[in-house]
Structure 1
Amino acid sequence: MAYIPEDKIDEIKDQLDIVNIISEYVDLKQSGNNYIGLCPFHNEKTPSFTVSSQKGIFHCFGCGEGGDTISFIMKKENLSYPEAIQFLADKLGIFIETGKVDKELYEHRKKLYAINNEAKLFFFHNLLTNPIPKKYIVERGLKKELINKFMIGYATEKSQDLLNYMLKKGFKIEDLLELGLVKQSKRNNSLYDAYRNRLIFPIIDLRKNIIGFGGRTLVDDRAKYINSPESLVYHKSNNVYGVMNLRNVSKENKVILVEGYMDVISLSNYGIDYSVASLGTSLTIEQAKLISRYTKNVYICYDGDEAGINAAERALEIFRSINISPNIVKIPDGLDPDDYLKKYGRDSFNQLLENSLNPILYKYNNLINEYDLNDIDQKVIFLNKLTELLAEIESKLIRDEYINRFSDDLSLDRDNLQYEINKILNTKTIDVKTKKQVVKNQSDKGYKKILLESLRYIIFNPNISEDIIEVSKFLSEKTEFWTKTLDIVKKIDYNSEKSIKDQIYDFNIDDKTKLIFDAVFKVKDYNYYLNNDNAENYIKSMEKNKLIIEREILKSQFILLEDYDKLSDELKNVYNKLAMDIFKLDIDIKKMT
């Protein structure tokens, strides 16, 4: 989620009534100026949870939890700070995604949620009254309570079934099109239901809104699954299917990541109610971060076929980027979780979890299975990939353990394997140093170009020199030559018979500074810098450039604080201030465009 301007956060805070918000979770009774109730964060029989309406804070004298409305929602709903702000903004009818309060857009989103909810009920009713989906559910062996838990529905074969129903309810065609519930034919502009002859899986977000749908064909349709398009309410990269299961993660202290809707439902069918699925072909960084808020103990359980193996490897890299090392569950015989559970049962599946592999062993086993080590050419490729895999391990201690183990497994000479790994590690070190130097050189080159232009205006147009010096002050922090060259330029005597160039070269300057001035005088037309309009435009560009540089510096700090959920309260304050400062600079820069 993008950062939220501080003034909008303050506006939301001003409208919050902490008693009303907490009363939705706790039975509060007035006691003097405050309210008391049983703490929602620990078990107690005597109320020790106190809410102050005047101060806008809560505190539990039993477990020590306390804070304001936002921190209460963060803890109770397990939301990050920005998500808690969004959660409360929804309650107040404030739309903040655009960085501004937009009641009209908020009302539109609220209407889209209502449409999705009505569609969910329509599909659910269809399932209860139609034998086709019932037969499929019986064949899959799904328990009846799962239909209610996941609100599974059914879209009939009729082309305008949902469309006619929604129009009778008073909903507009353009809204149905926006949500992807209805489509329009390109051939004759006729309207038709997007979902037909499909089992329907409503997709729910953390705030329990219906944000989209997935549909599985029950006939020989070309597309096995179709899903809602991106919309104002649905962003598939930010959500997971089965999000309600994340609330069960704390019981097991683990979460199972599976491929699709039916995998989540099938696992729940066997009492394994702590799985979720990514919405789409591969996991996204946003989905990984969402999962990691509930537990770092992740089990990737994709199908055992080639596509599942490739998807698991991509998911590993995503989790690795946020410093999580998942376990990988290998399902044998190319089965999916549902097939395996049906064939071998829950106890056997739990054994698969216990025997799951960490990323290194998983990749190692895949390499073993991929190459024929009796073939010399394939073995060479295998050994190259193995050394690359081992070189990825940052900890030398852990790397050495794997080197010893794999050397024994493969009857390899340990020293030779270590030698090949060291070659890769040394190359990586050189690459990092080179990249840092390239970035520095590019940065220096950019500031040098500004330095040269500023010096040209100061030297060739003394009438405007003071203004140029003023807007170029920031160069003193960016390049060592600014102060040195400026001191020389200030010694120029414009009444002297000597040329400016000769005067400068007569001063005692070192070779590097001389090169700067050589570049300064390498211009075809000095008159360009005498033109006051050009000078004024340059001053404006410099003022804008200064703001852009300031913004980039703040952004580099902001990126370091990217993982908001892991920040301390103090760093969260820094995060929000940086976000606000960047927001203000963006506005100032746009004004100058």
Structure 2
Amino acid sequence: MISDEDKNRVRAATDLVALVQETVELRPRGHEFWGCCPFHGEKTPSFHIIPATQVWHCFGCGEGGDCFTYIMKRENLSFPESIRYLAERAGIELQEEASFTRRGTKRARLVEVCEATCDFYHTMLMRGKDGRGREYFASRGLGSDVCQRYRLGFAPGRGALVNHLRSQGFSPREMIDANVAIDRRGGLADRFYDRDMFPIFDEQGKCIAFGGRIMGAGEPKYLNTSETPLFHKKRNLYGFNWAKEHIVAANEAVVVEGYTDAIACWEGGIKNVVATLGTALTEHHVKTLTRFAKKIIYLFDGDNAGQKAAERAIQFVETGSIDLRCVILPDNMDPNDYVNANGGSALRQLLDESEPLLDFVFRKLEQRADASTPAGRARALEDACRLIYPLRASYMIDTYFVRIADLLGVDVDMVRTASKRVFNDVAREEEQAQQREAARERYQQNASRSTLRASREPMPAADFAPGIPPVDEEPYEPYDYLPAEAQGAVSVPFAESSVLPVAPAAAAPIYTDLERRSLAGERELLCLMTSHLDSFRPYGDRICEIDWVDPRHEAIAWAVLATPEGAGPAEVMDAARAVCEDAASLVSAGTIGVTSEHPTETNIVFLLDTLELNTLRRRMRTAQARLRSDSGMDAATRRELAIQATQDAARARELASAVEGVADPFRTLSEQLNQPSAASNA
């Protein structure tokens, strides 16, 4: 238990203004300091501190208190934890009552293990006999001064660290709990071997974990500390201790994906940079960063993995008042390569030109989606619905549906209907993944109990001797599947606890209503063309204006028109079959020849007018979607699109008037048989 005396000592040693200024920009106003509240979004400062009384209050959200309540709210700590946090910050040792076990003793001991390990690795890098670590860092442009600044190191392995930590008085259990050593076959071995080491620090700058890059070939290329009481890769960020004050000053955080990327940015003058630790951006990362800035720029590598990471981050676009943006580097470069090649100022310019994450993701979806074909549109619609699945509960979901509809040129109702099926599929896949994860955890718990029982036995002194085989594998890394040996180790049968993934069925082609009508018109045109080819030859220029929905139809049309004048039906069909093996079934789908009483010339003009009308309407829909969704379009392009749309609309009115009153030939033969009166009206 913490005494009142200790509480008062910590309170007296804490300057509330300095504490708040770590994350909030404050401006003096008379005898007070004012700033924007860090606990709710606001543009006009309503948060103020009275230095004389060391209290704070926000008139916007109504929160207030002293240094302890402030740190409780900022760091999400309990009251005793806030006192210990501030005591540690002020360098005060608390004299807790002996009748109570001080919380945090084990944590402090594990931090000491990590700090001692960090010093050892750094010494091995700077003065060790093995110079490969120094050579690697030099090849990445990281000289001696940089290695010292970021306490980089080298892990020789072979029990060297275990022996060193043992000489420092650390127990085997402490080494294992800090994950700098592991118990293997009853012996203690170094966790990292033959790797360049990047120490990972907490917000106060104390070492809590490590990331190691292998020397030369081998897997895994990067190996992080496993989850420990100190370290959680989904919560911690590399370099946050150095970047925090710069993030506050810039009101902007830049997130990269690698240690050397972050270091290159810092050395290039971009200080408000942090790196994720072998995982994508998580909700915990976003919450941590938004305590200090409302703008987060995700700086991705230019490869496909970087673009997929951008798509995974879309789930955070509606988190609070966050402005989530992204930059993709050109030529598949990573930030380290880009800074070394172009300098920090060039990267800073790219960051200043960052685009909203949602705009980027939809733009990339449009680039890779082949919306020109029904099958491509079906795949693109599936991808788009999966993309917005994390936002399915958003009140903005209809806006996303409209954007996808504009992107693919389909009706918004079609997107809304497809989303229900896709959302259900994704939810079912997530449930299956959770079942596999639960089974894996049960397996690991049983394996951990066996390891714990073995670890309770006394370790022989020989376990600390040099020569133990190097160990680099993750002993408790999650499986992508449940191992065969887990059968019988879990509480439920393997067949019931693990669901094998099933490959999704190919999506059916998607046609809009205009495209369905155009398809029917194209087949009617082919049917009539193969029967009355010479009557179609004068209309070649109009056929050139058709935007064909089915490329097979277009190929058949031009193959038929290429036959010599006066060609018979057999020669015409041979030309059609030469370019499409399905030609016979396609050209026989039309019914206008047997249902219409109009002359052939009238039917030809009607079909061409109708197909041109549908082409114009599809073109106008595309132009409207682009005008509505492309915010980056320049004024000249926008004006050109608007003029073209106006001209198309005028021509569409002419065509609609021309076909008005002429019988609709786009009825199937079955419809004709069921409705004989409609056929006679034709």
Q: Please give the TM-score of this superposition, normalised by the length of structure 2.
A: 0.49
Aligned CA-pair RMSD? 4.1
Contact (CA 8 Å) 1:119, 1:162: kept in 2 or not?
yes
Distance 2:419 2:373 in 1: 27
Pairing partner for 1:378 from 376, 387, 403: 376
Q: Match of 2:237, as an amino acid?
A: V
Contact (CA 8 Å) 2:25, 2:248: kept in 1 or not?
no
Deviation at 1:176, TM superposition (A): 0.9
Deviation at 1:292, TM superposition (A): 1.5
Contact (CA 8 Å) 2:314, 2:358: kept in 1 or not?
no
Deviation at 1:236, TM superposition (A): 2.5
Contact (CA 8 Å) 1:289, 1:322: kept in 2 or not?
no
In the alignment, what sits opposite 1:233? Answer: 230
Deviation at 1:201, TM superposition (A): 1.4
Alignment CA distance shift 1:401-1:144 (3 Å): farther
Deviation at 1:215, TM superposition (A): 1.1
Pairing partner for 1:82 from 77, 100, 103: 77
In the alignment, what sits opposite 1:270? Answer: 268
Pairing partner for 2:7 from 12, 17, 28: 17
Contact (CA 8 Å) 1:360, 1:389: kept in 2 or not?
no
Alignment CA distance shift 1:135-1:13 (3 Å): same
Pairing partner for 1:204 from 195, 201, 206: 201
In the alignment, what sits opposite 2:178? Answer: 179
C-alpha distance after superposition, 1:172-224 (max 9, x if no partner): 122112212112332xx333211222121111112333211111112323221
Contact (CA 8 Å) 1:316, 1:325: kept in 2 or not?
no
C-alpha distance after superposition, 1:132-186 (max 9, x if no partner): 3222222111255433332212212x41111111111111122112212112332
In the alignment, what sits opposite 2:528? Answer: none
Distance 1:323 1:41 in 2: 18
Deviation at 1:318, TM superposition (A): 4.3
In the alignment, what sits opposite 1:160? Answer: 159
Contact (CA 8 Å) 1:302, 1:329: kept in 2 or not?
yes
Distance 1:104 1:64 in 2: 28
In the alignment, what sits opposite 2:192? Answer: 195
Contact (CA 8 Å) 2:15, 2:54: kept in 1 or not?
no
Deviation at 1:125, TM superposition (A): 1.7
Contact (CA 8 Å) 2:198, 2:212: kept in 1 or not?
yes
Q: Match of 1:167, as an amino acid?
A: R
Deviation at 1:70, TM superposition (A): 0.4
Partner SS for 1:201? strand
Distance 1:386 1:231 in 2: 38
Partner SS for 2:209? strand
Deviation at 1:247, TM superposition (A): 2.2
Distance 1:121 1:82 in 2: 30
In the alignment, what sits opposite 1:308? Answer: 306
C-alpha distance after superposition, 1:342-362 (max 9, x if no partner): 233323322322332323322
Q: Match of 1:149, as an amino acid?
A: R
1:255 partnered with 2:245: no
Question: Which stretches in structure 2 are left out of the alignment for 5+ residues?
Answer: 19-23, 34-48, 58-64, 424-682
Deviation at 1:398, TM superposition (A): 6.5
Deviation at 1:21, TM superposition (A): 4.3
Alignment CA distance shift 1:319-1:154 (3 Å): farther
1:349-368 aligned at under 5 Å gives the runs: 349-368=347-366
Larger Rg: 2
Distance 1:379 1:319 in 2: 25
Deviation at 1:310, TM superposition (A): 2.0
Alignment CA distance shift 1:257-1:384 (3 Å): same
Larger RCO, structure (CA 8 Å, separation 6 or more) = 2
Partner SS for 1:220? coil
Alignment CA distance shift 1:132-1:370 (3 Å): same
Deviation at 1:106, TM superposition (A): 2.9
Contact (CA 8 Å) 2:6, 2:95: kept in 1 or not?
no
Alignment CA distance shift 1:282-1:425 (3 Å): closer
1:111 partnered with 2:109: yes
Distance 1:102 1:205 in 2: 27
Question: Which stretches in structure 1 are left out of the alignment for 5+ residues?
Answer: 1-10, 29-39, 50-57, 430-593
Q: Please give the TM-score of this superposition, normalised by the length of structure 1.
A: 0.56
Distance 2:169 2:386 in 1: 61
C-alpha distance after superposition, 1:244-287 (max 9, x if no partner): 11221022211111112222112112111111122232233222
In the alignment, what sits opposite 2:343? Answer: 345
1:146 partnered with 2:140: no
Q: Which has the higher helix share?
A: 1
Partner SS for 1:279? coil
Partner SS for 2:77? helix
Partner SS for 1:329? strand
Distance 2:413 2:342 in 1: 45
Q: Match of 1:89, as an amino acid?
A: R
1:214 partnered with 2:214: no
Deviation at 1:62, TM superposition (A): 11
Aligned residue-pair number: 384
Contact (CA 8 Å) 1:143, 1:269: kept in 2 or not?
no
1:299-338 aligned at under 5 Å gives the runs: 299-318=297-316, 320=318, 324-338=322-336
Deviation at 1:234, TM superposition (A): 2.1
Partner SS for 2:198? strand
Partner SS for 2:106? helix
